[in-house]
Amino acid sequence: MLQTKVDSGLDGVIVADTIMSEVDGEAGRLVVRGHGLQELVAGRGFEGVAALLWTGYGEGGGDETAVRDGLAAARIRAFADVPRLLAVTEGLTPVEALRVGIGMLPDSDPTPHHYLVCGALPVFLAALINARRGVSAIAPDPTLTTAQDLLRMIRGQRAGAVFEKGLDTYLATVADHGFNASTFTARVVASTHAGLISAVLAGLCALKGPLHGGAPGPVLDMLDEIGAAAHAEAWFDEAFSKGTRLMGFGHRIYKVRDPRADVLKAAVTTLPSTAGRLAFAAEVEKGAIAALRRHKPGQRLETNVEYYTALLLEALEVPREAFTALFAVGRVAGWCAHIFEQEKGGRIIRPQSNYVGPRPQ
């Protein structure tokens, strides 16, 4: 079996300037268009963060009301595609089915494409969750925000203010995060002028992996397997002996705790009946950090966003298999902003490789 040298993963390589967000991995700080994360989510919901990210780009960018109206109209538009989507996605996981759904959106659609995809994702996701439960798709309500409407479409009725706020905080928190793998992928595709829908689809495909947006479902699987805090140490030692990675821990950029973990943990505390689950998760988290120190000394591995994402989405009663697809509902705002930025100023992204194969005689 041929094996070339393990690639660098572009570790530490700066590939572009951006005005979207800064991830300071040493300070544990995230800045989105000039706003620190805590301040950002205290003052803005998902539509507000999307408006901020799109300021200076795209139709309606900067104006939260215009973004809210544009997304509401796009949700209505997307609902017409639901029967076609459900007809061809039986047996697929929600994120696999979203991949199909985005792929079905035509480049020729007159709706501004950032609205088209950002409006379609929550409608498709709710319909997919319902279909897997044998429930008919519920039409969107254009008077609501994305978070309010998504929970309503999943549950069949308004969820209540604390739940809606919890989801809104989640979507706003994950909307953008520097040149993560999915955003970078979207920018590579955008750099070829393939168009926003294709670039978003590529971003979703990168997000789907368990090392990126696929981690929160397995976090809950891990908590279930551990079962009780007293079993955590033995479980972790066994996991390391098998070379298993601890989901929800470690990050390429953050060498300290991911600041999004604290924001999402705080959001869980606002939801009813979460105290026991949170206390258990916090104990397991402590054990995981201790095990990482024991088994990976010298590596600075801390809790990342996905650990408390899992707890929050569980408390919001989102089915586990839909977690990655729900991540996309938030992150798509950032992908669109980066696509605008790339299309406006960037050249085609075309790095080089080091050829180490045989040469002709």
Shortest reach from residue 298's CB to ligand ACO, in Å: 9
Q: Is 251 a catalytic residue?
A: yes
Which range binds ligand ACO by CB under 6 A, 14-22, 57-65, 111-119, 301-309?
301-309
In one-letter notation, the amino acid at residue 307 is Y
Q: Which is nearer to ligand ACO, 135 or 290 (CB)?
A: 290
Extract the tokens encoding 76.
Answer: 């209505």
Shortest reach from residue 198's CB to ligand ACO, in Å: 22
Q: Which is nearer to ligand ACO, 240 or 280 (CB)?
A: 240
SS3 content of the chain, % helix, strand, coil (to 5): 60, 5, 40
> Looking at the chain, how many residues does it have?
361
Among 33, 35, 252, 320, binds ligand ACO (CB under 6 A): 252
Among 65, 136, 192, 299, binds ligand ACO (CB under 6 A): 299
User: What span, in angstroms and rounded, lies between the C-alpha atoms of 11 and 43?
Assistant: 33
* H or E stretch at 74: helix 64-79
The reply to whether 306 sits near ligand ACO by the rule CB under 6 A is: yes
In one-letter notation, the amino acid at residue 53 is L
In 3D space, the residue among 91, 81, 46 whose CA is nearest the CA of residue 321 turns out to be 91
| Coil vs helix vs strand at 126 | helix
| φ, ψ of residue 150 in degrees (nearest 5) | -65, -45
Extract the tokens encoding 295.
Answer: 């088994």
The reply to whether 335 sits near ligand ACO by the rule CB under 6 A is: no
Q: Are 156 and 320 in contact (CB under 8 A)?
A: no
Q: Which is nearer to ligand ACO, 72 or 174 (CB)?
A: 174
The reply to whether 45 sits near ligand ACO by the rule CB under 6 A is: no
* H or E stretch at 289: helix 275-295
The reply to whether 61 sits near ligand ACO by the rule CB under 6 A is: no
Q: Give the nearest residue (CB) to ligand ACO.
A: 250
Among 296, 320, 321, 346, binds ligand ACO (CB under 6 A): 296
User: What span, in angstroms and rounded, lies between the C-alpha atoms of 85 and 70?
Assistant: 22
User: What span, in angstroms and rounded, lies between the C-alpha atoms of 328 and 117?
Assistant: 10
Q: Which is nearer to ligand ACO, 23 or 188 (CB)?
A: 23
Shortest reach from residue 342's CB to ligand ACO, in Å: 20
In 3D space, the residue among 129, 165, 170 whose CA is nearest the CA of residue 145 turns out to be 165
Q: Site size for ligand ACO, by CB under 6 A? A: 20
Q: Which residues pair with 22 in a beta bridge?
A: 31
Which range binds ligand ACO by CB under 6 A, 60-68, 97-105, 293-301, 343-351?
293-301
In 3D space, the residue among 168, 169, 199 whose CA is nearest the CA of residue 183 turns out to be 199
Helices (H), 89-112: 94-104
Which residues, 179 to 198, sit near ligand ACO by CB under 6 A? 180
Q: Which of 306, 314, 338, 341 is catalytic?
A: 306
Fill in the per-residue mask, 202 to 241: x = in contact with ligand ACO (CB under 6 A), - = not in contact: ---------xxx-x--------------------------
User: What span, in angstroms and rounded, lies between the C-alpha atoms of 52 and 174?
Assistant: 14
Q: Which is nearer to ligand ACO, 140 or 250 (CB)?
A: 250
Among 146, 185, 274, 304, binds ligand ACO (CB under 6 A): 304
In one-letter notation, the amino acid at residue 27 is A
Q: Is 338 a catalytic residue?
A: no
* H or E stretch at 23: strand 21-24
Shortest reach from residue 304's CB to ligand ACO, in Å: 4
Among 217, 250, 259, 287, binds ligand ACO (CB under 6 A): 250
In one-letter notation, the amino acid at residue 317 is E
Q: Are 209 and 215 in contact (CB under 8 A)?
A: no
Q: Which of 251, 285, 314, 338 is catalytic?
A: 251
Catalytic residues: 251, 306
The binding site for ligand ACO (CB under 6 A) comprises 9, 180, 211-213, 215, 245-252, 296, 299, 301, 304-306
